[in-house]
Copies of this chain bind each other. A is one copy, B any other.
Amino acid sequence: MATLDQTDCEILRILQKNARIPNKTLAEQVGLAESTCLMRVRRLREEGVISGTRTVVDAEALGIGVQAMVAVQLRSHSRTTVEQFQRAAVQRPEVVACYHLGGRTDFLLHVTVRDPAHLRDLILSAFTARDEVQQVETSLIYDQQHTDAWPIYPEARAK
């Protein structure tokens, strides 16, 4: 499968920052005709390089007063145990991200809750209470920053 050329990278960089930029404007910025630009974007979508679009919302406006990272260690690392915990974790609405890690901690859960009391309830009922969980360590998120575009490394588009 073809690799991403410079124009593709440019398109991806712009679209990552703003998914709703008009195709017309995007075409101008990358120096292509509208139709050609549209074709490239469509191809990127069809090939799965672009997997979706998201609207970013303000956590505070949603009533999310507290965010935390919850590090979880499991008692056993059998496939069934791991998968069972993961399923339980991600189906909690408060859990917005679930990272399965190698190393000391097995899972890192990014949770979004109303307030400290809500956090406590969530952790006690959803994590600590589970049999397969050995240890839970919660850290409040004071501040978070996200880049608006992921890096692109040359020779990309493996699949």
Q: Does A6 contact B (CB under 8 A)?
A: no
Q: Is the CB of B145 within 8 A of A98?
A: yes
Q: How many monomers of this protein are in the complex?
A: 2
Q: A residues 103-159 with Cβ under 8 Å of B? A: 103-105, 108, 112, 114, 137-148, 150-159
Q: Is the CB of B57 within 8 A of A16?
A: yes
What CA separation (Å) do A151 and B102 show in the bound complex? 28
Q: Is the CB of B4 within 8 A of A61?
A: yes
Chain B hits for A144, CB < 8 A: 97-100
What CA separation (Å) do A94 and B152 show in the bound complex? 9
Q: Is the CB of B96 within 8 A of A137?
A: no
A19's nearest neighbour on chain B, judged by CB, is B53
Q: Does A12 contact B (CB under 8 A)?
A: yes
What CA separation (Å) do A63 and B12 show in the bound complex? 13
Given A64-B150, A86-B145, output 11 extra A-B contacts at Cβ < 8 Å.
A19-B20, A19-B53, A49-B57, A49-B62, A50-B56, A51-B58, A52-B56, A53-B54, A63-B152, A96-B151, A100-B144
